[in-house]
Amino acid sequence: MNFKIHNLNKAFDNRVRLGIMSALMVNDSMDFNTMKDLLDLTDGNLASHITALEKEGYVHVKKEFVGKKPLTSYSATKIGVKAFNEHLDALEKLLKNR
């Protein structure tokens, strides 16, 4: 029996941050508005959850100009991918008996 709930990563216990990380596991990079629409979030909500993940070093933020418009894109960092996979491992172990 494995019930080590404390192996779950606090950074990923929120649905929005789960969604962001999932999106960034599948997509090398995703821009602000695509992510916002995909997860159905308000601007502020997305921005703040990204900031949280960025502070942990899990997400990299890239700002550039495309044509004449600013474009902010996000990608998962190496340690972000690692941390997320570890979180999913812990989750799986917890839930494997379904």
Partner DNA sequence: AAAAGGACTTTGAAATACAAAGTTAAGTAT
Partner DNA sequence: ATACTTAACTTTGTATTTCAAAGTCCTTTT
User: Which segment (15-23, 53-61, 63-71, 72-80) binds a copy of itself by CB under 8 A?
Assistant: 15-23
The residue from 23, 47, 54, 77 that contacts a copy of itself (CB under 8 A) is: 23
Does residue number 47 form part of the binding site for a copy of itself (CB under 8 A)?
no
Main-chain dihedrals φ then ψ at residue 76, nearest 5 degrees? -80, 140
Does residue number 7 form part of the binding site for DNA (CB under 7 A)?
no
User: Which segment (20-28, 69-77, 81-89, 90-98) binds DNA by CB under 7 A?
Assistant: 69-77
Does residue number 52 form part of the binding site for a copy of itself (CB under 8 A)?
no
What span, in angstroms and rounded, lies between the C-alpha atoms of 67 and 65? 6
Contact 89, 42 (CB under 8 A): no
Other CB atoms within 10 Å distance of the CB of residue 4: 10
How is residue 69 written in tokens? 């418009």
